[in-house]
Chains A and B, each alone.
Chain A
Amino acid sequence: MGRRTPEKDIQACALFGVMNKLGKRFGCEMVVTALKNMKVRGNGLGAGYAVYGLYPKFRDCYALHVMFQDGNIEAKRAVDRFLNENFDVVDDEEIPTNPEANVVDPPLLWRYFVIPQKKGKDKVLSDDDYVVSKVMYINTKIDDAYVFSSGKNMGVFKGVGYPEDIAEFYMLDQYKGYIWLGHSRFPTNTPGWWGGAHPFSILDWAVVHNGELSSYGTNRRYLEMFGYYCTLYTDTEVIAYAIDLLMRKQKLPIEVVSKIFAPPLWHIIDHMDEKRKKFYTTLRMVYGPLLLNGPFTVIVARHGEMFGLTDRIRLRPITAGEVDEYLFISSEEAAIRAVSPELDRAWTPPGGEPIIGRLEADLDEVLPSQ
């Protein structure tokens, strides 16, 4: 199975997320199997995974996954220098890969485990904001270097290829996590380059996305006011930044954020009771520029939480399933059934209704430091 685009003219992306709500870690088999099952939704031009509970040994360090385009060693030197100036680099190594895997032109891939060393005016920043600003710096100022993962005890692995090839390339069978997100891509509006594959991630947030936002320009320009500059020109980047702004910085819960991204229609709001009407009206008034208009499905994760959401008029598919302590969110139910033929529950939520999975255990207890 090469990187040949299937001849059949179809477009879509495959999304899959699986979470163990008790925080037990498991391998990559389910997510890879599910994405393989949805093969026709991708075209071999991008796939990737996000894994939570990945690096218990370095759980207090930010794990930076960096790609250096064309193996540019100068870029790596610049990043090494930059990281040593701004962080305590606890450990670093080349990300292990399988040279036999069926992928083309992989970049040089490196991971660093770092602790912020804030100086001067940066001292007022929180650790998270500090890391974001340094990641933004590398991504915009150092040519050929791109940080694609920057959370603690989690990591993103992605590249150009079919999902199973990317999994093989990164040798994902050596990793375990309690949440796995996966994505298989059918790019339409951005060239298939390694950094452009999903998931997109900043800090411990990871986003996989299917769709094309008609509101991209509005969303992007609103986010610029809050210091988020899109460098990748993808819809997913916009969604990731919007989530960071609303959930991390403004501390809004997903139940509210989902109503910002996919608000109820006015004719429904106008018939609500006074309190809800006021709330939804205000939400739309204040956050109208972050309405994600046009088709989208996203699955988003951070430590302890995974949720899926589709647009207000359901132009992209999303479906969910539960069995025991596992929650699945997928583009297709078939993919869930491929992993777990028997389900306690399988359902398709309406547009704008989030599917929310929250850890039912204390993360510190189920994932002790090693």
Chain B
Amino acid sequence: MKSYLLNDFIVERIEDRCIDCGACIQQCSFGVFSRDKDGKIKIQEEKCVGCLRCVIFCPTKALIVRPNPTTYRPNSYWTREVIQDIKKQAETGGVILTGCGNDKPFKVYFDHILLNASQVTNPSIDPLREPMELRVFLGRKPDRLEIEFNGADDVEIKTELHPNLVAETPILFAGMSYGAISYNAFKALAMAAAEFGTYFNTGEGGFPKELREKYGKHAIVQCASGRFGVDPEYLNCAAAIEIKIGQGAKPGIGGHLPGEKVTEKISETRMIPEGTDALSPAPQHDIYSIEDLSTLIYALKEATNYEKPVAVKIAAVHNVAAIASGMVRAGADIIVIDGFRGGTGASPKIIRDHVGIPIELAIAAVDRRLRQEGIRNKCSIIASGGIRCSADVVKAIALGADAVYIGTAALIAMGCTMCQRCHTGKCSWGICTQDPNLVKRLNPKEAAKRLVNLLRGWSLEIKEMLGGMGINAIESLRGNRDQLRGVGLEEWELEVLGIKGAGE
């Protein structure tokens, strides 16, 4: 059947710059470049996904990749994307898959919220000259401390404390499994988390044994519907455990790692036969209710001697506040809310683009509900899904989060260009692939350096913003919605966010 689809991109080669070195042929994992029988470089631009690997690695900057300007008759209802999707399905009869998060022009609440700064009545603080503290504790806190006081230097704490994670910055790496991402990408995340004093999340694909000793202290291991790689050793080597109920990119949907990606190493890590599909069911089949969740939470706590906080991650959905409240009451020490912008390796496009709610509204609603019920300090909240910059982090925390997860931003730091072709397994940047030739393109040490740099840059910016507000410890920002003002928001939106409009 002839394809009626338009090319997404056009690829141009500037003849007088090209030295015919063939780097583009080597770099492109989607087969755009080849040599014809005369040895001339041939471009099949219908295969181009816009990953820009060839552009970056062309030694003479001879390549230009840009969106195909050819359009259907302009129509703001039947857009190019809609028409293309219909044609694609008419040709394949399948579910359209994609990667990354929701890319539709929904209102970005972060961009309608502005931060405060101190003027006159209290001083701003200069983070270059004064201490500025970003350390956060994640986990359950008691309502009060009982102490035995025998003078200021001799105080005994009587209250039994729950285990908490200690992160040196309120930014953690979100769950991305070995299998979904490459070994090198996985290792880079672990290395960066350890170096910076924060945490990475293994995702649901297990935790390679040789990395456990060195990086276990900085790992949050996931226990998801497929239970891949879960055993007592896996649970106990980590700093915390996360039960994944859902994720922002595909709420209510499971996962599928095709058998061709289940290499020997992945098979060992996931504890499944080599070459078999790794299927993660949509629900966890032992959790059909809140009491089932509680059972699993306490089973994991029992298995780890109550020494590790247990997190529960859900996608931000309509009743997120009530669900979160139930999760805390079920025993979750940390709740992770993943907004609809959250990314993924592979998801049905229709789900990615139409299910879930914005993280900003979800965090505000959850924080408010937990406070109303007097249980906010029984858990920590991690905001996840579409955190793009340090200002998003600050806004999320001021809305009520304790910390954030970054996934997409971390991948971008390592090289990802958001081409949304994660599900193809051909990631030319060596991130979302198991092809050994592609994987080795990503040097874990260098990728870790990029990640550490990103954390450092964001942390410095957070300090600048805090200092501007006259705050020198991140805990004084949490839930401090007075430091936020809305612009271009409707009354109900301000109400849900719990913030005033600018000028108020």
User: B-contacting residues of A (Cβ < 8 Å)?
Assistant: 11, 188-189, 211-218, 220-222, 224-226, 250, 252-253, 255-256, 265-267, 276, 278-279, 282-289, 291, 293-295, 312-313, 315
Cα separation A266 to B377 with both chains bound (whole Å): 21
Assess the A291–B122 pair: CB atoms within 8 A: no
Which of the segments B12-20, B48-56, B138-146, B451-459 contacts the partner chain?
B138-146
The smallest C-beta distance from A351 to any residue of chain B, in angstroms, reads: 11
Assess the A282–B157 pair: CB atoms within 8 A: yes
Give 3 closest A-B pairs by Cβ, nearest first: A288-B475, A217-B482, A215-B476
Instruction: For A225, list chain B residues within 8 Å (CB).
Output: 371, 374, 376-377
Cα separation A266 to B141 with both chains bound (whole Å): 19
Instruction: For B145, list chain A residues within 8 Å (CB).
Output: 250, 252, 282-283, 286-287
Our pick among B131, B142, B143, B469 for the contact of A214 (Cβ within 8 Å) is B469
Listed by A's residue number, 13 A-B pairs whose Cβ atoms lie within 8 Å are A11-B121, A212-B121, A214-B480, A217-B398, A217-B479, A217-B483, A222-B376, A265-B133, A279-B157, A286-B142, A294-B118, A313-B130, A315-B123
Nearest-CB residue, chain B, relative to A268: B131
The smallest C-beta distance from A235 to any residue of chain B, in angstroms, reads: 10
Interface flags, B442-485, vs A, CB<8A=1, else 0: 00000000000000000000000000011111011111111100
Given that A214-B469, A217-B480, A266-B133 are known contacts, is A289 also in contact with B122, CB under 8 Å in the complex? no
In chain B, positions 131-164 with a C-beta closer than 8 Å to chain A are: 131, 133, 135, 137, 141-145, 147, 149, 151-153, 155, 157, 161, 164
The smallest C-beta distance from A240 to any residue of chain B, in angstroms, reads: 18
Nearest-CB residue, chain A, relative to B137: A285
The smallest C-beta distance from B229 to any residue of chain A, in angstroms, reads: 31
Instruction: For B473, list chain A residues within 8 Å (CB).
Output: 288, 291, 293
Instruction: For A276, list chain B residues within 8 Å (CB).
Output: 153
Assess the A252–B475 pair: CB atoms within 8 A: no
Given that A282-B145, A287-B145 are known contacts, is A215 also in contact with B135, CB under 8 Å in the complex? no
Assess the A256–B147 pair: CB atoms within 8 A: yes
B355 at the binding interface (Cβ < 8 Å): no
Assess the B122–A250 pair: CB atoms within 8 A: no
The smallest C-beta distance from A267 to any residue of chain B, in angstroms, reads: 6
Instruction: For B131, list chain A residues within 8 Å (CB).
Output: 265-267
Our pick among B122, B149, B155, B371 for the contact of A315 (Cβ within 8 Å) is B122
Assess the A295–B122 pair: CB atoms within 8 A: yes
The smallest C-beta distance from B495 to any residue of chain A, in angstroms, reads: 16
B125 at the binding interface (Cβ < 8 Å): yes
The smallest C-beta distance from A170 to any residue of chain B, in angstroms, reads: 29
Instruction: For A215, list chain B residues within 8 Å (CB).
Output: 471, 476-477, 480
B82 at the binding interface (Cβ < 8 Å): no
B1 at the binding interface (Cβ < 8 Å): no
Assess the B155–A279 pair: CB atoms within 8 A: yes
B128 at the binding interface (Cβ < 8 Å): no
Cα separation A226 to B137 with both chains bound (whole Å): 21
Instruction: For B151, list chain A residues within 8 Å (CB).
Output: 255
Assess the A226–B374 pair: CB atoms within 8 A: yes
Nearest-CB residue, chain B, relative to A9: B120
Cα separation A276 to B156 with both chains bound (whole Å): 9
Assess the A284–B475 pair: CB atoms within 8 A: yes
Instruction: For B398, list chain A residues within 8 Å (CB).
Output: 217
Cα separation A357 to B472 with both chains bound (whole Å): 29
Instruction: For A295, list chain B residues within 8 Å (CB).
Output: 122-123, 470
Assess the A214–B141 pair: CB atoms within 8 A: no
Nearest-CB residue, chain B, relative to A315: B123
The smallest C-beta distance from B500 to any residue of chain A, in angstroms, reads: 11
Instruction: For A267, list chain B residues within 8 Å (CB).
Output: 131
Assess the B152–A214 pair: CB atoms within 8 A: no
The smallest C-beta distance from B126 to any residue of chain A, in angstroms, reads: 11
Instruction: For A211, list chain B residues within 8 Å (CB).
Output: 122
Cα separation A105 to B110 with both chains bound (whole Å): 46
Instruction: For A252, list chain B residues within 8 Å (CB).
Output: 145, 147, 149
Assess the A293–B137 pair: CB atoms within 8 A: no
Cα separation A217 to B120 with both chains bound (whole Å): 19
Nearest-CB residue, chain A, relative to B470: A214
Cα separation A282 to B147 with both chains bound (whole Å): 11
Assess the A294–B482 pair: CB atoms within 8 A: no
Most A CB contacts (10 A, CB to CB) among B153, B164, B479 go to B479
Assess the A218–B476 pair: CB atoms within 8 A: yes
Cα separation A188 to B147 with both chains bound (whole Å): 38
Our pick among B122, B137, B141 for the contact of A212 (Cβ within 8 Å) is B122
Instruction: For B480, list chain A residues within 8 Å (CB).
Output: 214-218, 221
The smallest C-beta distance from A297 to any residue of chain B, in angstroms, reads: 12
Cα separation A116 to B331 with both chains bound (whole Å): 40
Our pick among A222, A284, A294 for the contact of B122 (Cβ within 8 Å) is A294
Nearest-CB residue, chain B, relative to A224: B371
The smallest C-beta distance from B485 to any residue of chain A, in angstroms, reads: 12
Nearest-CB residue, chain B, relative to A219: B476
The smallest C-beta distance from A277 to any residue of chain B, in angstroms, reads: 12
Cα separation A45 to B137 with both chains bound (whole Å): 42
The smallest C-beta distance from B119 to any residue of chain A, in angstroms, reads: 11
Our pick among A217, A255, A293 for the contact of B470 (Cβ within 8 Å) is A293
In chain B, positions 347-395 with a C-beta closer than 8 Å to chain A are: 371, 374, 376-377
Cα separation A114 to B129 with both chains bound (whole Å): 54
Most B CB contacts (10 A, CB to CB) among A213, A284, A294 go to A294
Cα separation A289 to B144 with both chains bound (whole Å): 12
Nearest-CB residue, chain B, relative to A188: B121
Interface flags, B388-431, vs A, CB<8A=1, else 0: 00000000001000000000000000000000000000000000
The smallest C-beta distance from A220 to any residue of chain B, in angstroms, reads: 8
12 more CB-based (< 8 A) A-B contacts, given A253-B149, A255-B151, A285-B141 = A212-B470, A216-B482, A217-B480, A217-B482, A252-B147, A252-B149, A265-B133, A276-B153, A278-B157, A288-B137, A293-B473, A312-B472
Our pick among A11, A253, A265, A293 for the contact of B476 (Cβ within 8 Å) is A293
Instruction: For B478, list chain A residues within 8 Å (CB).
Output: 218, 288-289
Nearest-CB residue, chain A, relative to B482: A217
Cα separation A211 to B473 with both chains bound (whole Å): 17
Nearest-CB residue, chain A, relative to B125: A313
Assess the A282–B161 pair: CB atoms within 8 A: yes
Most A CB contacts (10 A, CB to CB) among B121, B469, B476, B477 go to B476
Most B CB contacts (10 A, CB to CB) among A226, A288, A295 go to A288
Assess the A293–B147 pair: CB atoms within 8 A: no
Assess the A218–B157 pair: CB atoms within 8 A: no
The smallest C-beta distance from A310 to any residue of chain B, in angstroms, reads: 13
Cα separation A206 to B108 with both chains bound (whole Å): 45
Cα separation A226 to B475 with both chains bound (whole Å): 18
Instruction: For B471, list chain A residues within 8 Å (CB).
Output: 214-215, 293-294
Cα separation A216 to B469 with both chains bound (whole Å): 12
Cα separation A189 to B118 with both chains bound (whole Å): 13
Instruction: For B482, list chain A residues within 8 Å (CB).
Output: 216-217, 220
Instruction: For A188, list chain B residues within 8 Å (CB).
Output: 120-121
Our pick among B118, B470, B479 for the contact of A289 (Cβ within 8 Å) is B479
Cα separation A218 to B130 with both chains bound (whole Å): 22
Instruction: For A313, list chain B residues within 8 Å (CB).
Output: 125, 130, 472
Cα separation A18 to B254 with both chains bound (whole Å): 68
Instruction: For A285, list chain B residues within 8 Å (CB).
Output: 137, 141, 161, 164
Cα separation A293 to B121 with both chains bound (whole Å): 14
Cα separation A276 to B154 with both chains bound (whole Å): 8
Cα separation A321 to B483 with both chains bound (whole Å): 37
Cα separation A315 to B467 with both chains bound (whole Å): 13
Given that A293-B473, A312-B472 are known contacts, is A221 also in contact with B149, CB under 8 Å in the complex? no
